[in-house]
């Protein structure tokens, strides 16, 4: 990164950001956030995390993936290769510096658990509850002796559950949230990334029972994808879920989109088409839209300007005035619904 002809490290950029740049925190209530997954380099190469946070295009980044749990293994596609002594747990100080740089610019940074090819799952609620404590200590506001991102504190956890057992996730979310209430005033988020098919085969019951702040619906690789808009595109089903079944009636739904034609088997649409779809959804489904999620940063922003165009389109559009739902905050002691 260069400023005034001087090459800057992530740490120097963090200092510069803190001193000279006035930023606002991530706005979960917005309908025009642009969220990218980063870490898997699906296009074959990717920039550093910190580089994607520069400018106003990206509002939040989801690091992918914590692909094995409860034995805690990370895969960040070669970006981080070193491990702690006598351990196979990655130690990523450069990524840690970038996390702080992103946060200094008002970007939220989350960690995604799961993925399409991981080996993960819980055998019981007890197993899930214990692992929530581990996640808190290792990646969020806790104090584990071995933390992959050192003293960088992530802003939340994303559940991209595409295999394994469906057991334990409601208990996991509930226990993790119990830590949030004593997290020193920091705002934490829990998000999910279901397939667009409703209800989701893996997270369906958890989405109904646990408190999610945002849901990144994957509108690709299925009949309900963006490529079938308006036909079988089913944002309406997710809008109804948010308003009638979600534990958090203020949950925000994101339109998940492939960042290029090669990013998914189906579902890719041009930036202009996606912008039109987003604006139509925003006008029709008052209050539930959170913005766009894309897989992934390398596909959307490296070899083209698709990501930049989408972000600009959804941020600059003037939507018809909508009646905002009164936001209900998560309350300590709130109990998840049981089936």
Residues labelled as active-site residues: 162
Nearest to 29, CA basis, from 291, 298, 319, 309: 291
48 burial class (0-12, 13-18, 19+ CB within 10 angstroms)? middle
Q: Are 11 and 94 in contact (CB under 8 A)?
A: no
Q: Is 177 helix (H, G, I), strand (E, B) or coil?
A: helix
55 burial class (0-12, 13-18, 19+ CB within 10 angstroms)? exposed
Q: Where are the alpha helices (DSSP H) in 74-203?
A: 93-104, 125-139, 169-180
Nearest to 41, CA basis, from 80, 7, 82: 80
Query: Rounded to an integer, what distance in angstroms lies between the CA atom of residue 302 and that of residue 188?
Result: 29
Q: What DSSP state is assigned to residue 226?
A: G
Q: Are 28 and 252 in contact (CB under 8 A)?
A: yes
Strands (E), 154-288: 156-161, 189-192, 214-218, 252-258
Take residue 280 and report the two structure tokens written for it.
């139509």
């Amino acid at each position: 990164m260069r400023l005034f002809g001087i090459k800057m490290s992530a740490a120097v950029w963090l200092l510069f950001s803190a001193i000279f740049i006035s930023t606002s925190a991530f706005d979960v209530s917005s309908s025009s956030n642009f969220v990218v997954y980063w870490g898997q380099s699906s296009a074959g190469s990717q920039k550093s995390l910190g580089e994607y946070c520069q400018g106003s295009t990206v509002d939040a980044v989801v690091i992918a993936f914590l692909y094995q749990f409860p034995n805690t293994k990370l895969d960040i596609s070669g970006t981080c290769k070193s491990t702690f002594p006598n351990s196979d747990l990655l130690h990523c100080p450069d990524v840690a510096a970038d996390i702080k740089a992103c946060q200094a610019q008002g970007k939220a940074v989350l960690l995604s658990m799961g993925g399409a090819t991981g080996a993960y799952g819980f055998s019981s609620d007890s197993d899930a509850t214990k692992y929530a404590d581990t996640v808190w200590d290792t990646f969020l506001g806790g104090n584990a002796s071995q933390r992959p991102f050192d003293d960088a504190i992530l802003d939340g956890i994303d559940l991209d559950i595409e295999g394994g057992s469906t057991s334990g996730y409601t208990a996991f979310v509930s226990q993790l949230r119990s830590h949030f209430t004593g997290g020193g005033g920091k705002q934490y988020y829990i998000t999910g990334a279901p397939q667009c098919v409703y209800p989701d085969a893996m997270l369906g019951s958890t989405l109904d029972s646990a408190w999610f702040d945002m849901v990144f619906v994957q509108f690709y690789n299925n009949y309900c994808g963006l490529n079938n808009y308006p036909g079988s595109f089913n944002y309406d089903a997710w809008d109804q879920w948010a308003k009638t079944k979600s534990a958090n009636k203020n949950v925000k739904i994101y339109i998940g989109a492939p960042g290029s034609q090669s990013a998914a088997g189906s579902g890719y649409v041009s930036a202009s088409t996606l912008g039109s779809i987003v604006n139509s959804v925003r006008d029709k489904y008052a209050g539930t839209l959170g913005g766009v999620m894309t897989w992934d940063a390398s596909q959307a922003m490296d070899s083209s300007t698709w990501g930049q165009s989408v972000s600009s389109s959804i941020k600059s559009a003037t939507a018809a005035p909508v009646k905002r739902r009164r936001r209900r905050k998560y309350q300590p002691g709130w109990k998840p619904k049981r089936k």
